[in-house]
Amino acid sequence: MKRLMATAILTVSTLLCADVFLQGNKQFNFGIGAGRGYGSDYTIVGIGGSYFFLNGLSVGLTYRGWFGGDPSLNEVSVPVTYYIPLHQKFRPYAGAFYRRSFVGSGYDDYNSYGARAGVSYSFNSNSYVSVGWVQEYFDSSQDGDNSNGYPEIAVGFSF
């Protein structure tokens, strides 16, 4: 009985201490939100993946579609994120990204880049949730506004 109890405690503690942000891990993430642009309200759905080249450092590829408004808007991003190993469960993060936006209905496509910062909470070695802030800068702007800041919430799975 003691042996079974010790094995159970060791297994649970290993799961609790395992790190979702280790070198070689791959992640799948998704997000949903709301946005406004071109005089329309949109529902934004995103999906992406990333790979940890080093402990805490990931490079990825993401897609976001803006649905429910006109014109159509689709975005492809390349994010680089570093998760700072200050705490086992809570990890502050900082990152940068490049994004290409494809706009329909005769509007020009455009590029943007930006930075993000926040904190991630790992539930176990395979999942986490992140909450943070994104500041995005546009190469060109239709309405004269050159930057935009917004909150982000993401759920991720690692394998």
10 occurs within a structural domain: no
The DSSP letter of residue 5 is: H
CATH code, 79? 2.40.160.20
Q: Which residues have a Cβ under 8 Å from the Cβ of 16 and sit 6 or more positions away?
A: 88, 124
Chain segment 54-89, per-residue pLDDT in tens? 999 999 999 999 999 999 999 999 999 999 999 889
In angstroms, the CA 100 to CA 45 distance is 16
Residue 121 CA to residue 104 CA, distance in Å, equals 37
Domains in the chain, number: 1
**What DSSP character marks residue 39?**
T
How does pLDDT run across 105-148, given as a tens digit for each residue?
A: 888 999 999 999 999 999 888 888 999 999 999 987 655 678 98
The C-alpha atoms of residue 82 and residue 91 are separated, in whole angstroms, by 9
| pLDDT value at residue 144 | 63
- Asked whether residue 73 is domain-assigned, the answer is yes
Flag whether 49 is in a domain.
yes
* Cα–Cα distance list, 109 to 39, 68, 74, 104, 121 (Å): 17, 19, 10, 8, 35
Structural domain contains residue 15 = no
User: Residue 14: inside a domain, yes or no?
Assistant: no
Q: Which amino acid is at 94?
A: A
Mean pLDDT within 17-34: 83
Containing structural domain, residue 35: 20-158
